[in-house]
Amino acid sequence: MQIDDVDRALLALLREDARAPTAELARRLGLSRTTVTSRLQRLEAAKVVVGYTVRLAGAVESALVRAHVTVACHPKASAGVEAALRRIPEVRQLHSVSGPFDMIAVVAAPSIAELDTLIDRIGALDGVERTTSSILLSTRIDR
């Protein structure tokens, strides 16, 4: 599917506020509501837009202890480890990477103690060989 400049502008507005009313999106883009609605439907049908999400307020998000947990898996165990990590709600993102580790999980927990328990839980998953974690101190850029 071809994504044009209008689609890119629409996607940028949705990144700012995925709940913005179609009328507001249309006003900001200088288009009709019908045009915006049809573009959204087309982007969803083509699986360009695959969902909408919630972003927590800065105070709520900053109260969480966040970390990057690098995960090394036993050979051929990546699919099982990924499936297990998908079932852990504290895992916010999971990236496959090159190098000495197979994945990086971005996690968030309410406290250091709960983060410690979470990292132990990840390390105990079948197929996980070893983990290393880095606690995030601050976010300098968030786009």
Cα 66 from Cα 117, distance rounded (Å): 13
Q: What is the extent of the structural domain holding 69?
A: 58-135
Q: Are residues 38 and 89 in the same domain?
A: no
Residue 58's pLDDT is 64
Please check whether residues 65 and 102 belong to one and the same domain.
yes
Q: Mean pLDDT in the chain?
A: 92
CATH number at residue 86: 3.30.70.920
Q: How far apart are CA 92 and CA 35, in angstroms?
A: 33
The predicted model scores a pTM of 0.65
**Alpha helix stretches (DSSP H) within 30-126:** 33-45, 58-62, 78-86, 112-123
Beta bridge partners of 70: 104, 132
Considering the domain architecture, whether residues 69 and 115 belong to the same structural domain is answered as: yes
- Residue 120 CB burial class (10 angstroms; 0-12, 13-18, ≥19): exposed
Q: How many domains does the chain have?
A: 2
How many whole angstroms separate alpha carbon 51 and alpha carbon 49?
6
pLDDT digits (tens, 9 = 90+) for 87-142: 999 999 999 999 999 999 999 999 999 999 999 999 999 999 999 999 999 888 87
Q: Verify that 76 and 129 share a domain, yes or no.
A: yes
Q: Please give the C-alpha separations between residue 8 and each of 38, 92, 125, in angstroms, as whole numbers.
A: 15, 25, 40
Q: Is residue 142 included in any domain, yes or no? A: no
